[in-house]
Structure 1
C-alpha cells in the first residue's frame, strides 16, 4: 500500500487466526504493552510499541492538553485508528514515573479481537517523519514479535509485609472530619481511599494476575498499561466513565455498596437492603444528579434512570443508574473528560472542595487509580474509571480502594467496605 502524502497517519490491517491475547501480550518484549477488554465483552485488544503519543509527566495545562488532544485526534480519519491511555485522578499533582498526568499512545502494533475474529493493525506515522526510517521501524517491530506462550496459574506468593495508607486510626479521623456538620453541610460527599501496599516474596507476571482477576469479575472492564518493565497498572473496574458513539453518550452513576450473599435468598435480601438504605441511596442520587448537571450544557438531551438497580460483582454489589445524552455538535472527548472526571463516585461533591480535602489529607498520590482509562478516535471513544486497581512493581504491589463518605457514614463500616473491595484481588495474590 502506498500512503498518500496528505495522510499523516496510515494504518494497515490484516485478518489473522484467533490467539489468546493476554498470552500473546505476556510473551512480548516491546513496550509499552497495553490491554483493553470492554465490559460488554464484545471486544478485546492487545497492543505494543509506540507509533505516536502525547505525554505529560510534569505540569499540564488543561487548555494545552485539549489542543494537543484535538490535534492528535485529527491526524487520522480511519475508524480503526485509536489512541489508548489515561489521565490521572488529580492532574495538579505529580504522578507515577512513565505514566504521567496524562498519556495516550497510538500503538505500533495492535491485535483486536471481535468475537472469534482477530485483526492485526500496523500504524505508520508520516507526520514530519522520514518515510524510509518509519518503514524500517515498523519492520523492526514486526520482526521482534514473539509467539504467545500459555499463561501459568500464578503461585500464591507469601506476604512479607502489609501497610495501609492511611492506616485505620487515621482513616477514622478523616471520616469523622468529613461527617462533621460544619464541613458536611458545604461538602456533602468525599470519597476517601486507601493504598494497601504489600511486599511479596517473588515477582509476578502482571498479565497472569489480570487474567485471573478477569475470570473472577467478568462483568467488569479489564485493562492494563505497562510503559516499562518496572511498573504495570492493571484494573478490573466495574465503572464506565462514558461510551461515546459520535454524538450519542452513555454513562452511569455507580455508587453505594454491599457484600454478596452466601446463597440466592441472602443475596436478594442484601440487594433489597441496599436499595432501601438511606445513606447509600443518597450517595447514588448525588452522583446521578451531578452527572446530569454537568452534561446539560454539553447536550441537547440528557435522560437518567429515576430508580437505582443492582449491579452484581463477585464479592460485592452496587447501586447503578444509567444515563444517556445526545451531545451538541462540536463537543469533543476532552470536553467530556473535563466535565465528567473525576466523578463524585471517586472524588466527591462539590468537586473542588472534595478534591482539596483529598489532596491535603489522604496522605498519598493516587496516580492513575480513580483516573480515566480508555481509548478515543474520531467516531467512538470509551473510558472506564480505574477503581479496583493495582500497581505492580518488582516484589511490591499497591492495591487501591475507596468509599464514599457522607453524613451518617461509620468509619469502621467504611473501612470494612475497603476490605470487601480488595477481597477478590487479595485472594488471587496472597497465600494467607
Structure 2
C-alpha cells in the first residue's frame, strides 16, 4: 500500500484544477473527430507534466512517461461528446448548441489527466513506463481504429496491460469490475428493400415496400426469442423505418435501420445470418423486383475483460477503497471500441465502471423502485455525474490499477 499512498498523497491539492478541467470540458464539448480544443488542452497538460506527447488519428493524443526499467501500463480515456441538447441546468452547462458531454467522456479525460499528473509527480515511487492515451470518436466506433491505423503500435512501447474506465449511473464512491464480457459487441445495419411504385389508389399495380418492411419488422422480433439459445443474450432493435413522401404514392423502396448487440461471436453470427435470411425471405414472398441491400456501419467490438488482469485490479481496488466500495459489474448492452487498442498490441486488458450518481439519491431510487425514472442514464440530456467523489475516485482508480504493475503490487497476494 505504501507506494500507492505516496503517489496519491498530493491528490487533494490537485482536485481544484481537475474539477476546473472537467467543468471546462463539459462547457466546451466537441463531436467525434472534431475534438481539436480537447486535444490541444490534453497535449499542453501532458507536456507540462513531462510526458513525451504524440498526436495520432487526427485528434488522438498519447503521452508516454518513461521512468526506468519495468512494466509498461497503458491507460485510456475517450474524449468526444454527443449531438444532444443539454437540459441539466448546471452553471457549467454546454455552451455549444446541440452538443453535450452526455456520456461522461469529460470525466474520463479529467480523471486520466489527474492520474497522469500524480504519476509524473510520484516517479520516485514506481518504475516502468506509463502511457496515457486520449482517444477520439468513441461514439461512432472510429477513434481507436484511427489511432491504430496511424501507427500506434509502432510509435509507443508495447504495454503489458491496458486499462480503461467508464462513468455510469451507479452510486458515486464505487467502482464495479467483472471478468469476461462487460460490454456487448455492437453492429448497426442499414437495410434497403425494393418494391414497385404506383398510385395509392392502385395497390394491385404495386409491390408495396411499406408492407414489406412492416412484415420484416414483425418477423425480426422472433430472432432473439426463437433463434438465440435461452441463457444467451442478444438485442435486435429496429430504430427507424423510412419510406415514401406522400399519402397517395406507393414508393419504390423502404429503408430500415437496425442495431444489434451480442456477447459472443457465435451468437452474433447467428443473429446477423437470421436477419439477412428473414429479409431475403420476405422480399421473395413479396415479389420484390430487386435483391435487398445490407450496409453494416458503426461496428463495435466485444469488450471482454481478461480474468487474471481483472482479478488483480479488483484485489487492488478492494485493498485501497475497501470491499464496500467495490461491486461486481453486470454485463452492459452498451458498446465500446476500446478493445481495438489492446488488441493491436496483443495484450490483456480490463475495463471497469465508475459510479457517478449521488449515492443517497441512488439509494432512495432503489428503495422506491424508481431508478429508471429518477436516475438519468448515459446519453440522456440530464446526465450529469456529481463532481465529488466521482472525480477523486476516477483518479484514484487509474493510479491504483497502474501501480499494481508499476510499483510491484499494492494488495495482498498481488504479483509484483
Normalised TM-score (structure 1):
0.24
Normalised TM-score (structure 2):
0.25
- Considering only CA atoms, is the larger Rg found in Structure 1 or Structure 2? 2
